[in-house]
């Protein structure tokens, strides 16, 4: 079986990834639903998360692909992107379209400048930035991801700054990310048939993906 992508992040390959995930996992959840179902280990579960730091238009494209396959995912949006402004009407409209398709929107926190601070400072920034995002999209923010995961949080802690921490140990101990290559189709199939944990998290960055033959 060939690599799940042939050195390129193309949409037709992403659709194959989704089809593989859907075939292997009968239960798909949003991150905001995890506290209620994490203890239910009768069947392996999967969540798909996107960290959106660049190009909201590509995030919408992946959301539409997922919607076409009846798969709900979670989009973590940064409020400090150099390529889009969440205060702009165009950005708000794209995020609203993603929500209307049944997906969740959470906060992607760029905490690289907070490494020298303690956990309380990270939590404070989560609360400030999630409030700003909520104000713009007019939808509750329940979850957060960290661009630079921190190791000082308790290993069994699911929450950070009163939000579900998608980057915590509990959520990441069984995960696949497009940061790691090569990523093969059989990797997903093996995880679905021989579950290591109750929950698999698949993490992607939509700005890396595009139509085949298109310029990045």
**Strands (E) located in the chain:** 27-28, 45-52, 74-77, 104-109, 143-146, 159-160, 163-165, 175-177, 199-204
Query: The tokens of 166 are what?
Result: 């998608």
Instruction: Give domain status of residue 63, yes or no.
Output: no
For residue 33, tell me if it sits in a domain: yes
- Token readout for 93 is 């409209």
Separation of first and last alpha carbons in the chain: 26
Q: Is residue 35 part of a domain?
A: yes
Q: For the chain, how many structural domains are there in total? A: 1
Residue 41 lies in a domain: yes
Domain contains 58? no
What are phi and psi for residue 23, nearest 5 degrees?
Answer: -70, -35
pTM of the model: 0.89
Higher pLDDT pick, 148 / 165? 165
List the CATH number of the domain containing 153. 3.20.20
- Which of 16-30, 61-75, 171-185 has the lowest average pLDDT? 171-185
> How far is residue 56's CA from residue 17's CA, in Å, rounded to a whole number?
21
User: Is 193 a domain residue?
Assistant: yes
- Does position 46 have pLDDT exceeding 80, yes or no? yes
Q: Tell me, yes or no, whether 67 lies in a domain.
A: no
Q: Render pLDDT for 106-134 as a digit per residue (tens, 0 to 9).
A: 999 988 776 656 788 889 999 999 999 99
Exposed, middle or buried, 23 (CB in 10 Å: 0-12/13-18/19+)? Answer: exposed
pLDDT at 5: 41
C-alpha to C-alpha distance for 159 and 50, rounded to whole angstroms: 19
Range of the domain at 201: 11-52+73-205
Q: Which letter, b or e, does each residue of 76-100 get, where b requires 16 or more Cβ atoms within 10 Å of its Cβ?
A: bbbbebeebebeeeebbebbebbbe
pLDDT per residue as tens digits for the range 205-215 = 999 888 765 55
Residue 6 counted as domain residue: no
pLDDT digit string (tens) for 73-90? 999 999 999 999 999 999
- 70 vs 149, higher pLDDT: 70
């Amino acid at each position: 079986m060939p690599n799940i992508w042939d050195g390129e992040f193309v949409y037709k390959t992403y659709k194959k990834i989704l089809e593989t995930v859907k075939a292997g996992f009968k239960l798909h959840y949003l991150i905001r639903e995890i506290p209620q179902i994490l203890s239910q280990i009768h069947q392996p579960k999967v969540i798909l998360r996107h960290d959106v730091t660049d190009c909201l238009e590509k995030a919408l494209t992946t959301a539409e692909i997922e919607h076409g396959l009846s798969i709900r995912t979670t989009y973590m949006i940064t409020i400090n992107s150099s390529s889009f402004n969440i205060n702009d009407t165009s950005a708000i409209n794209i995020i609203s379209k993603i929500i209307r398709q049944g997906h969740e929107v959470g906060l992607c926190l760029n905490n690289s400048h907070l490494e020298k601070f303690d956990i309380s400072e990270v939590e404070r920034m989560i609360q400030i930035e999630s409030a700003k995002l909520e104000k713009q999209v007019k939808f509750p923010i329940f979850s957060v991801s960290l661009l630079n995961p921190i190791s000082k949080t308790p290993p069994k802690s699911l929450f950070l700054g009163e939000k579900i921490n998608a980057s915590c140990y509990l959520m990441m101990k069984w995960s696949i990310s497009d940061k790691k290559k090569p990523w093969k189709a059989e990797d997903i199939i093996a995880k679905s048939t021989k579950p290591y944990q109750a929950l698999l998290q698949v993490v992607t960055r939509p700005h890396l993906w595009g139509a085949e033959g298109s310029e990045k």
